[in-house]
Structures are given as C-alpha cells and as structure tokens.
Structure 1
Amino acid sequence: MIHAHTTADADRDQKQAALGYVTEAWADGIVDGVDGDCLAQACLFAAFAELVSTYGEEAAAKFAEGLSKRIHNGEFSLHIARQ
C-alpha cells in the first residue's frame, strides 16, 4: 500500500527544511564571530516581520502572547542527555 503524502507531512517537511537553513546560517554567523545573542535578536526580528507581513499585526501579536507559556513549559529548551 502506498502512503499518500498528506498536507501535514508536507508542512512538517517544509518546517524541517527551513530549520536546516536557519541552523546552517546560524552556524556560519558564529564561525564569522557574530554573537549568539545578536543572532537570536536578528532571527526573532526577521521571524516576526515575516509573520506580520503574512498574517497581520493582530495575528502575530496573538501568536507572540502564547510564547511565554510555551517557554515556561520548556518547548524551546534544549535537553542534553547526561551520562
């Protein structure tokens, strides 16, 4: 049986590809001596500018309001396995 590629699968694949590009650009910036905090600030600015451009200020602001809870819930924390 052939599994049809769903819209959710395509969306996940696009997000994975995008994260790969951002991660690569981030690594290039670090190698070139750009401070990680500066990279983070620039990425956030670019991301929110794109969200505002795509969805409008109200939708982007509503999305941003939910980030605090997600941060507190550890969604953005990198968990490193300790041996």
Structure 2
Amino acid sequence: MSTPKTIFSPASGTGPFDPAQSERQLALEYLAEAWNSAEEDGLEPASLAHASLFAALATFVKMHGDEAAADLIEQLPERIRNGEYNLERILQ
C-alpha cells in the first residue's frame, strides 16, 4: 500500500485497544486509498461520495434490513448537525 493522502483523519489512539475500531480504521484506510486513486484518475469527489453512500447503504440494507437502514438514516441529520461527519472539527 502506498502512503495515502487521505481526507480522513487517523484514529486518535486514545482509550483502550478496541479490535473492532482497529478494523474499522484499517477499512477506512483502504477506502481512502481507493478514493485517492479514483481522484487521480479524474473522478469528481461528489461522484465518489454518491457511489460510496449507495454502496454503504445497499450493504447495510442487505446485512440488517430495510427498517434498520431507515432508522440509521433517520438519525443522520442530527449527527451531521452535531459535527460527527465534519473532518475539520476540533475535539476537546
């Protein structure tokens, strides 16, 4: 794997070791590498974001069902407004 120029933040490294968090961080790094490669090939970030959301939601629906996916999406506006998806927010 090459050194990513990812838009995603690395894990903070605080708190006890969490294998699930470690796996999610590794998955995010793989996705960031693919994202960066696609941008280098000329794909627009908005197209990548749309395709990523579609793939993520389709996978979530397949794994957990329509209702669980709808419940997740219902929570997103508040989580977005609270800054959970803001890559530039400062954690205190």
Among all aligned residue pairs of Structure 1 and Structure 2, give the percentage whose two residues are the same amino acid: 43
Q: How does 1:57-72 map to 2 (within 5 A)?
A: 57-72=66-81
Instruction: Tell me how many residue pairs correspond in the alignment.
Output: 75
Structure number with greater Rg is 1
TM norm structure 1: 0.84
- After TM superposition, which residue ranges in structure 1, 4 or more long, deviate above 3 angstroms? none
1-side partners of 2:89 and 2:65: how far apart? 36
Superposed CA RMSD in Å reads 1.8
**Unpaired segments of 5 or more residues in structure 1?**
1-5
The TM-score normalised by the length of structure 2 is 0.76
Distance in 2 (alpha carbons) for counterparts of 1:69 and 1:80: 16
Q: Aligned equivalents of 1:59 and 1:79: distance in 2?
A: 29
Choose from 9, 22, 31 the match for 1:22.
31
